[in-house]
Structure formats: structure tokens, C-alpha cells
Structure 1
Amino acid sequence: MSGINPIIPGFAPDPSVVRVGEWFFLVNSTFHMFPGLPIYASQDLVNWKHIGNALHRQSQMSLKKSDTKLYPQEDTGEVLLATGGLYAPTIRYHGGIYYVICTNIVHPAEGAPDVSENFILSTKDIWANSWSDPVYFEFQGIDPSLLFDDDGKVYVHGSAAPGPFTKINLFEVDLATGKKLSDERTIWGGTGGIYPEGPHMYKRNGWYYLLISEGGTHDNHMITMARSQDIWGPYEPCPQNPILTARGTGEYIQYTGHCEAFQDQDGNWWGACLGVRKDAKGRFIMGRETFLTSGNWNGDWLSLDLVKSNIETLSSREKLSDLPQIDKPGLDILYIRDADFRRYRFDSHKNGDVTLIASKTDLSAPEESPTFMGKRQRRLCGQSLVDITLSDIAVSADVNVGLACYKDEHRYLRIFYDGSDSTVVFEVVNNAKKISQTKRTAITLSQNTGLSFKLQYTEDQYEALFRVGGKSGNPEWSLLETVDTLILTGPDFVGPVIGVFAVAETDAEVHCTSLVFDEPLAQKPH
């Protein structure tokens, strides 16, 4: 078995893995996107299938207060974009039940501190995509994990607030009710790096091993380890700390951390961690992805190998792994926060066709959900496209409709039709970098006239293209704008989602056909 990286490409941070028999199950963070907490399954750690989402009913939880806050960083001059919502889940299996434990970070009114809603979801059938309502438990922090001890006790360990000098705290819990069964105690503060977080605990040969992340989730990210023969401590740090980091190296895979250690069916040890593919100019447009690395126990301590991509040439990076398969159509469709599903009508007879009912909410809204549906950008080099037809109302309305690459309300680029002046518009917004650019070209559009949009992307650039009249009317694409992917790159938590959107003061309808997400490039970029 060999690691092919990234094993989950695109918007796939904070991986947690559990093995049950011959199957590995993996979950990632999703922050402000719904459905949340995707569940992937694999038998070989290379070929993965998206089988469900642990947060798949809006009645389970609201994500409305998951807006993105901007925090200038004094040391780098950059702006950190901290998105609320679903942080760092852990997946575990015990007694015939699968558990996902997670934090929903709620951003309340301006100036008020964040609220940590910590909760547990469960299911007896992970393949059925039917998870329980959340069981909440009291914990002022993030990144909770679970340990099922040999004596039947269950412990939660997490990163206790406030940051950046958080501590790893521990307490016993009743999973059925969320009730604390012990006092909450600090068991380790890490080795001195900021934001000790993402803890996972494993029991081996009578020792409790604690694996955590430190240094923040970007340049200084690292994995450290400590152990104790008493679950409450004291914990002695590993002499070889950090046991995994890419800081100070010239590796293409950077920011490695937030790691889950586990064994395969043959007893081999592995680490699943987040990382970014960062080129020489600082681009890491795909955001934090899930990578695999091998591990070994050298005596009393685990060591993890430096995370590598198999082939370093740009043309080969696209061939590193197959994209995750989808167990059922629609599992991988994403919406922003608390979507109004009355604004989406899917044609059950035509795969990929959808009618959007425009809303007044635009992509820049911090809490409300715009009419937008998309999928994670999985390919480093790919294209997404759509053919649209506007209804009578939409043609005469001031409707904006098109194709967008969205990260959060502060950062997106899009190509769209603006009904107010019958133009095709390219727009890019990055409030963290104080960027706001537009480019327009006039077109003539009448009822039932086809209009197509396409976004092409490589590691270093986005291209926005359009054509009027559809394939039959005008098969040639017109290039409206090209921008460097650095324009959307920066220290953040999320990744790119590409989708269609519709904005208007009226309930204008837009028919989207031939909707293609993230397919291989049909031609070389211009």
C-alpha cells in the first residue's frame, strides 16, 4: 500500500480517521457550508468514496452565525480569515455505534466573544447517511476528540479556550446525555507553540499517548506528542518533538499538521493530516487538503514521515490520485449556511439541470444564504461550466446570474450576466487584500437566448469565459478576464467551492443546464 497525495483533494481540512474491520472512514471540517462533515470510506487508503454527511438535515443545527472574521497579523502583515461553523470533527466507533464529535463556532453580535457549541452525532449504520440529532455537552473550546478506555469510561479531550495559548483539557462524559462525569482538567499545554489544538489520544502498551497540533494552522504548523501512564497526567513530551512538520523546508506540501494516527489491516501505522500544495510564488489556492503519510513506532514513540507528493512536475500533480467517488448523486452539493431549499428545483430526469429562484442575498452576505449551489474544487487544473436560460421575468429584471468560485463572503470571483445593463461581468473580491475589480462587456440577450459561462483554472491562474447563443448559436468561447490565483490565496480555514448563483430583487427564475463541475481542462489556458 502506498500513499498517493492528497488523498482527499480540495476543501478537506482537519481529517479524522477510524478503521472498522476492512474499512477506513474519514471526516473533514466544513465550517460555513451545508451539508457538513462529509464522510468518506476506503479499503486501501487510496481510493475513497463520499458516502454521506454527518450534518445532513438543517433541523440538526443552524450555521447562520458562521460568518468570517478578519484578523490582521502583525508578524506577517497578512490578514487571517477565521470562519465560524463546523470545526475539526473526530470520528470514532465503539459498541456498534459510530460517533462524530465536533464544535460549531457561533459568531454572535459584533464585539461579543465566540460561542463554542460542542456536540456529538451518532449512527448505527454509517452507510445509510442518517445521523442523530446533536447531543450537546459543556466545553469552552474547540476540536474535541474521544477516547474509549478499557474500563468502559469515555473521555473527551479538546483545546480549551481562549487562544492563542490554549491548553488540552480532559473530562469524562456520558455520550447519551452529554453530561460531564468528572471535573475538567488541563493535562498538557504542548511544547510552547501557539494554539495547542486538535488532540487525539491513543492507548498503547499501558501508556496514554496524546497527539496534538501546535504553531497555528499555517506556516508554523507542527505535530507534537506526549505520554503518561495515568490518563490525567502528568504527560512527558516526546524527545523528538515535533514528530511532523514542513516548516523550514522547501517541500511543496506545506502547513502539515492536525494529524490522526491509525493502523491498517496489516498493522502498519499511518498519519492522515492536513496540508497545502504551495508553489514557489506562495500560491495554495486549493486550501487545506487531506494528505497521508507513513509512520513507525521507534521504541516508545511514534515517528511520522515528511509528507510528500509522489511526483513534483506540475503536469504530474494532477495525476496524483483519483477524485473521491460519490456514493449517491447530490451528496457532494454544497450550499452556504442555512439554505432556503425552495429556491432550488432539480430536474429528476436530467442529471445536473436545476432551476434557481433568485434571492436578494448576494455572495457578500455574512449571515444569510444566497441562492448558490456548488461543489468543492477538487482538481488543481480543471474547468466548470453552465448553460443558462432566463425566464421572462429574469430577462426584464435586474438579475445577476452566473458562475462563481466562492470561499467566503470576503473572497470570491465570478462571471455573470447583469440584467441592469445587459452586460457580462467578471468580478473578483478579496477584502482581506482590499481587492475589488470588475470588467464588463455588453451583449444582446433576449428571452430563451442561451448564455454560457465557464471558469478554467490551473495552479497559477483563473480564466473567465462566456458565449451567447449556446453551442448551436456560437460555439466559440470569448475570454473576458484572466487573473492570478494569488488574488484569492491567503491564510484561511476554507477552500474553493465552484457553483451557480442568482441574485435579484424579484423571484426571477434561471434555468441551468449542462452544469459541469470541475472536469479536466478541455484545452490549454490562453
Structure 2
Amino acid sequence: MSFPGCPVFASTGLVNWDLISNVLNRPAQLPQIRTSTNGQNLGMFATTLRFHNGTFYLIGAWVDSDHGGVEIVLFTTINPYDDNAWTNSIRIQNPTRAIDPDTFWDDDGSVIMAVAGSPIQASYIDLATGNATKPFDMWNGTGYNNQEGPHLYKKYGYYYLLIAEGGTELLHSATIARSRSITGPWGSSPSNPLVTARYTDRYFQTVGHADLFQDDAGNWWGVALATRAGSALYNETTYPMGRETVLYAVSWPDGDWPVADQVTGEMSGPLPSRSPKASSVPAFMGEPDIVDFAPGSSIPKHWVFWRAPAKPQSFTISPPGHSDTLRLTASRANLTGDKDFSPPDGLTFLARRQTNTLFEFSVDINPNFATAKGDEIGVTAFLHQDQHVDLGIVSMGSVAKGNLGFRFRATDLAAADFTVPAPKVTPPPSVMAIRIYSSPPPF
């Protein structure tokens, strides 16, 4: 739902990562990003990035709540450092209307697309036409539900199939099987699950939906999705950064099964020698933002909108007479919207992804409300339109009389087990600086 989407990061040492491009960076690539996105948790699902014969391929499922569709789309580039080098979306047939597509090139050059299913399904696909063959069954996992996130590898004369099981919450895991034939039968690893945190009280929970890769030195690594909070706080829905990517070391002896280090927080592995950044593009992981919106500059590439902006003119850098500012033109609806809201209405909203448990930030605001009542500008901790916490300056009456309020408001349209506090309005401070506190990781 956020835009630009499908960010790609590069690293020379597997510790510091640079944002080098956003695959989905212009509405022309996938016009639905602007119009068919009323759902708050849908959009691009579980993309897979692969490199083959000089080309990068990113495949994913576009889930459209407005029309009930699941469309598999593919983007390619030979230069992942350039946003504009990523192609428009190429539609790939989706015989089972499934999510989580993976691309795998077999020894004969054929391309296999595995997708989520019970069991996991696969088809041969034609990347030029987007055609897919009739799907065939693969592996049904180790007994947990929600078999998804498949990835295929071929080593030592075996096909290896890595999948996610157990759903995306506390039972999440990654398990692996192998077969001499792409059509099976598949044998489960005796060490399954490969990675998980289920039935533990580790700080990192929901570990699963994994992938494997090799570095230049031949060392194997894994990546997976996880949430940081611990099982108790997860059960209280206290994990503001949602699902994040984690890295762990893997050993893969010749002819044997891969074995992974479990995700525990402070970990070790055969990291490559640290070297300069992968590009001249400023990284944002672990680095502060200081943005003054100088004339001729642009919105930082790691900042995101909620959907592709329907009205780009609502975000103007250094308008005439207001150098070094960003002018925001209010949208009709606030962050929550209303029953008449639709994506073409647009939301005047810019965000930066939270990347640290403990951080602080500030923003200078010059309210210039055009109406007598109801306009608002401020900051928000935003999950989606149904769940966000706002601190804003709001016009409460006649702007000419300086009738402004500093308002705290929490919105949770899905709340069932607790009461959302009522909005609170106080006179606004002269300077609004927000500091967010949280407990440090208990490693």
C-alpha cells in the first residue's frame, strides 16, 4: 500500500545496507496502485528477487480488494541502482489465484513458478508471454497450516523446496524438503523447522517466510521475516514496526541438508570484510534524516506516500516565496477517511519507515489553514488508515482569532479487546518536537 514500493537494498558487508532503488516507483508501472487500493492491508504481496543471466527479476502478487483479484506481476532491470530502469509490470498467468510467487530457472533453461497452496503448487511459465502451464502439486509441509512463501533451489542433484508454515503469527516457521524430481516425491528435512521462534519467549518472534543465498566467498545465509517484541508483547499487539527482515548464518554441507542458526538478536557468522557503501546513494538504515527541502531538491526516496499520490501537486518543494519548505495542500479527508473516501481523493501524507526501537524526531510546522474549522497538520505513528496515533495542530473555530488546538487522537477501527482513548485537545506549543520512548532490546 505504501508508495514507492518494493524497495531494493544493497550491501557489501551484510551489515550496512543502502536503499538503491524502488522497483514500483511510478504509477504507469501498475496503474492499479492509484485506484484499486481501498483495502488497508493489501497491495503487493511477498515479492521474490532473483538474478539470472545479467537481469534482475522481481515477481510478486498484486492483491486487489476492490475487484477481488490476485494478479501475479513481474518487473525486470539490468540496473537495480536506477528507479527508471525497472520495467512496467508484466502480467504472469495465475492458474490457482495464489500469492507468494517464486521464480526458478532449471538446468534446461525452463522457468518454474511456485506459489502458495495446500500443497504448494507450481507451473512452468513463459517470461516473454506470461503464459503458465497447468499447475502441479509439490509439498504439503510438516503438518502446520498456511503453506506459503515457496522458494526452489537445486544442489547436489536435488531440488530443495523451502516454504513457510504456521501462519504469520507466533507459530510461523520455515521448513524445507527435497526431491530428485521437480514433481516429487518430497522428503522432509530431519532437522525441520529450518528457523522458527514458536513455543519460545525470544525477543524476535514470528520468524518464518525465509529465503537462502550465497555470498561471494561461498558462505550460505538466510533471511526471514520476524517481529521484535517477545511473545507477551506480541499477544498484546505491541510491535509497532511490524514484520522486519532478519539475517542469519546457514551451513550447507555437501549432499546434505541446510542447517540454520536461530534468530536470537546478537548473532555471529562469517561476515564479509566491511567495505565502503554499495553506492553513492545516501543510506537511511541507521542514519538520521535532516531534510530542509532546498530549491530543486526532491522528496527523499525512502519516504513514502499511502498509495501513489493522486494529486502530486499537493506536495510542493520550495514554492515561490517559501524557500526551503515543503508545502502540503490539505486533502478532503483526514488520515482515516470516511464512508465516501476513495483512492482518487488522495491523502496528503508523507512517512518514513520506523527502523529503530528507540528514536526521536522533530518537525517544524507553519500552519496556514484555509478553512475556519477542521483543518489539521501534524505527525502520526501510522500503520494504515484504520490504525494510527496522531499529534496535530487543528483549527477549532475562526482561524482569524487564532483558535487552534494541539490534539492527540488515536484511531483503531479494529479495536475489540481494549478501549481507544478519547481525543485530547490542549493549547498548541510554540514548537512541536516529538520524542518516542521504548524499552531497549533485551539481548
How far apart in 1 are the matches of 2:165 and 2:392? 42
Provide, for residues 321-344 of structure 1, a one-character-per-residue CA deviation record: whole Å limited to 9, x for no partner.
Answer: 992569996110100113121110
1:251 counterpart residue number: 202
Among 55, 70, 75, the residue aligned to 1:116: 70
Deviation at 1:454, TM superposition (A): 3.2
**1:454-493 matches, cutoff 5 A:** 454-459=433-438
2:409 counterpart residue number: 427
Deviation at 1:352, TM superposition (A): 7.3
Among 328, 331, 336, the residue aligned to 1:359: 331
1:20 counterpart residue number: none
Number of equivalenced pairs: 392
Q: Is the 8 A contact 1:68 1:410 kept in 2?
A: no
How far apart in 1 are the matches of 2:200 and 2:39? 30
How far apart in 1 are the matches of 2:36 and 2:407? 30
Unpaired runs of at least 5, structure 2: 268-282, 290-297, 398-403
Among 228, 231, 242, the residue aligned to 1:287: 242
2:422 counterpart residue number: 438
2:138 counterpart residue number: 187
How far apart in 1 are the matches of 2:72 and 2:152? 18
Deviation at 1:186, TM superposition (A): 1.5
SS in 1 for 2:414: helix
Provide, for residues 381-432 of structure 1, a one-character-per-residue CA deviation record: whole Å limited to 9, x for no partner.
Answer: 11222121133x5374531111111101111001111213421110011222
Among 130, 141, 158, the residue aligned to 1:178: 130
**1:22-421 matches, cutoff 5 A:** 32-61=1-30, 62-63=32-33, 64-68=35-39, 83-108=41-66, 114-130=68-84, 131-139=86-94, 140-160=97-117, 166-180=118-132, 182-279=133-230, 280-282=232-234, 283-298=238-253, 300-310=256-266, 323=285, 330-339=300-309, 340-347=311-318, 353-365=325-337, 367-368=342-343, 369-391=346-368, 393-394=369-370, 396=372, 398-421=374-397
Deviation at 1:459, TM superposition (A): 2.5
Unpaired runs of at least 5, structure 1: 1-31, 70-82, 161-165, 312-320, 445-449, 462-526
How far apart in 2 are the matches of 1:156 and 1:35? 25
Q: Is the 8 A contact 2:314 2:330 kept in 1?
A: yes
- After superposition, the Cα gap between the structure-2 partners of 1:402 and 1:252, relative to the gap in structure 1 and judged at 3 Å, is same
Q: Is the 8 A contact 1:403 1:454 kept in 2?
A: no
- After superposition, the Cα gap between the structure-2 partners of 1:362 and 1:441, relative to the gap in structure 1 and judged at 3 Å, is closer
Q: Where has structure 1 moved over 6 Å in runs of 4 or more?
A: 325-329, 348-352
SS in 2 for 1:156: strand
TM-score (norm 2): 0.82
1:16 counterpart residue number: none
Q: Is the 8 A contact 2:151 2:162 kept in 1?
A: yes
How far apart in 2 are the matches of 1:351 and 1:216? 50
How far apart in 2 are the matches of 1:156 and 1:334? 30
1:464 counterpart residue number: none
The percent identity for this pair of structures is 30
Q: Is the 8 A contact 2:305 2:350 kept in 1?
A: yes
Q: Is the 8 A contact 1:263 1:269 kept in 2?
A: yes
Q: Is the 8 A contact 2:367 2:377 kept in 1?
A: no
Deviation at 1:308, TM superposition (A): 1.9
How far apart in 2 are the matches of 1:348 and 1:266? 51
Counterpart AA for 2:307 = R
Deviation at 1:234, TM superposition (A): 1.8
How far apart in 2 are the matches of 1:442 and 1:133? 48
CA RMSD in angstroms, aligned pairs only: 2.6
Deviation at 1:278, TM superposition (A): 1.2
Deviation at 1:67, TM superposition (A): 4.1
Counterpart AA for 2:59 = I
Deviation at 1:183, TM superposition (A): 2.1
SS in 2 for 1:209: strand
Counterpart AA for 2:370 = A
Q: Is the 8 A contact 1:269 1:295 kept in 2?
A: yes
How far apart in 2 are the matches of 1:175 and 1:373? 35
Deviation at 1:353, TM superposition (A): 3.0
How far apart in 1 are the matches of 2:330 and 2:430? 17
How far apart in 2 are the matches of 1:451 and 1:58? 39
Bigger share in strand: 1
- After superposition, the Cα gap between the structure-2 partners of 1:87 and 1:352, relative to the gap in structure 1 and judged at 3 Å, is farther
- After superposition, the Cα gap between the structure-2 partners of 1:50 and 1:351, relative to the gap in structure 1 and judged at 3 Å, is farther
- Of structures 1 and 2, the one scoring higher in RCO (CA 8 A, sep 6+) is 1
SS in 2 for 1:372: coil
- After superposition, the Cα gap between the structure-2 partners of 1:106 and 1:173, relative to the gap in structure 1 and judged at 3 Å, is same
TM-score (norm 1): 0.70
How far apart in 1 are the matches of 2:182 and 2:38? 37
Counterpart AA for 2:10 = A
